[in-house]
Amino acid sequence: MADIASIELIEKLIQFDTTSYKSNLELIEFVRDYLLSFGVESQLVYNPEQSKANLYATIGPQDKPGVMLSGHTDVVPVTGQNWHTDPFTVVEKDGLLYGRGTADMKSFIAIALAFVPEMQRANLTTPIHLAFSFDEEIGCVGVRHLLTMMEDMPLRPAMCIVGEPTSMQVVNAHKGKLAHRVTVNGLEAHSSLPHIGVNAVDYAAELVVFIRRLAQDLAEQGPFEEGFEVTYTTLHTGKIAGGTALNIVPKQCTFDFEIRNIPGQDPQPLFERIQQFAITELEPQMKKLDASCGFEFEQLSGYPGMFTPADAEVVNFVQSLSDVQGLKKITFGTEGGLFTQRLGIPTVVCGPGNIEQAHKPNEFIAVDQVAAMNAFMRRLIAALS
């Protein structure tokens, strides 16, 4: 029955358009009511505007630490993507389930929910906790409200499984991320008189080149962390805009850059080197003409890397539940680093689907990945009963 319910719940959850700029309350309230129909009460943890919520629930003994299954309910936009089907209606073709969020990561949530009746029937001696968040896709924003609630809990989960798509392989490490927006304020002038203006685009370009050279140094000199596809910390400028017309010295330019750090490297000193170069090397040149010129830095998002030792209990336990052997490190981020950093909960990432399908048009999950996750859930329930 749970196998059928898994597909039905995937179909149901995909129907909720929980793109990050929208509310997830309709989905969360559906999950709350679904759990309540099996006698499981939930706690909702809202954002300040009460427009979005995390959900936390426990099945089994309430007075023991247990295993937490963690997933995010939001999805990335479909705007501008060439979808062959309605992205918010699951379509099955050739053993694949198409729809936004099938891989990343509503299928994991749906399968966990499908097994709630079996959890309730089992004589669980160790509880299973469900933790579903919002706004993960824009920088692990929503889960921080949940973490604040959990910090005050008398008992926290003993371990956590984040169900991001790993094709059911156990992941014990991922990189962290720190993203900033830089605003460069210059001084307008006629382009025939550039010497009386301060070209914001030029100074932005100098800082972008500095970031690129810093990235090259890291690629050549490290530090390195073996096991990652990209074994060093990377820096990347992804967006830039500035100027109003070709015959005007640009007054302003903005660009966004990110640092994706290996778990053992703190990204803050790298950011400070970039900021220091702007303030000490570039700003004095700008301010010679006008004191209002200079750089502004705004943090857009950030989350820590995750590293769980290969011999940790959670690693061995989750490996015993999966058919896919071996450990893996991933370059994309999850909420796992926050669970470890803020709450001290040993965490791994393991879930159905492939990250290569995430964020793309015609996103899909293979039906055999759903079956593999179903088998994983049965082993989990048996192990905790």
Residue 1: which pLDDT band, with cuts at 50, 70 and 90? low
- For 130-139, write each residue's pLDDT tens digit: 999 999 999 9
Residue 264: which pLDDT band, with cuts at 50, 70 and 90? confident
Give whole-number Cα distances, 242 to 152, 208, 238, in Å. Answer: 46, 13, 14
Which is the catalytic residue, given 74, 104, 335, 363?
74
Which sign does the torsion angle of CA 113, 115, 121, 127 carry? negative
Residue 14: which pLDDT band, with cuts at 50, 70 and 90? very high
Mean pLDDT for the chain overall: 96
State the alpha helices, DSSP H only, in 195-263: 200-221
Residue 157: which pLDDT band, with cuts at 50, 70 and 90? very high
Could you tell me the domains of the chain? 2-174+305-383 (3.40.630.10), 176-303 (3.30.70.360)
In the chain, what percentage of residues exceed pLDDT 90? Answer: 98
What pTM does this model have?
0.91
Task: Select from 71, 67, 37 the least CA-distant residue to 55.
Answer: 71
- For 17-71, write each residue's pLDDT tens digit: 999 999 999 999 999 999 999 999 999 999 999 999 999 999 999 999 999 999 9
- The Cα–Cα gap between 188 and 356 comes to 45
Answer whether 170's CB lies under 8 Å from 185's CB.
no
What length does the chain have? 385
Which is the catalytic residue, given 135, 136, 225, 335?
136
Partners of residue 189 on adjacent β-strands:
249
Name every residue whose Cβ is closer than 8 Å to that of residue 37 and which is 6 or more positions away in sequence.
none
Q: Is position 118 annotated as part of the catalytic site?
A: no
In the chain, what percentage of residues exceed pLDDT 70? Answer: 100
| 254 pLDDT higher than 80 | yes
Position 68 scores a pLDDT of 98
- For 230-246, write each residue's pLDDT tens digit: 999 999 999 999 999 99
Position 133 scores a pLDDT of 98
**Mean pLDDT in residue range 371-383:** 97
Q: Is position 283 annotated as part of the catalytic site?
A: no
**Mean pLDDT in residue range 367-371:** 97
| 317 pLDDT higher than 90 | yes
- For 63-78, write each residue's pLDDT tens digit: 999 999 999 999 999 9
- The Cα–Cα gap between 284 and 115 comes to 63
Answer whether 263's CB lies under 8 Å from 171's CB.
no
**Buried b vs exposed e over 289-322: b needs ≥16 C-beta within 10 Å?**
eeeebbbeeeeeebbbbbbbeeebebbebbbebb
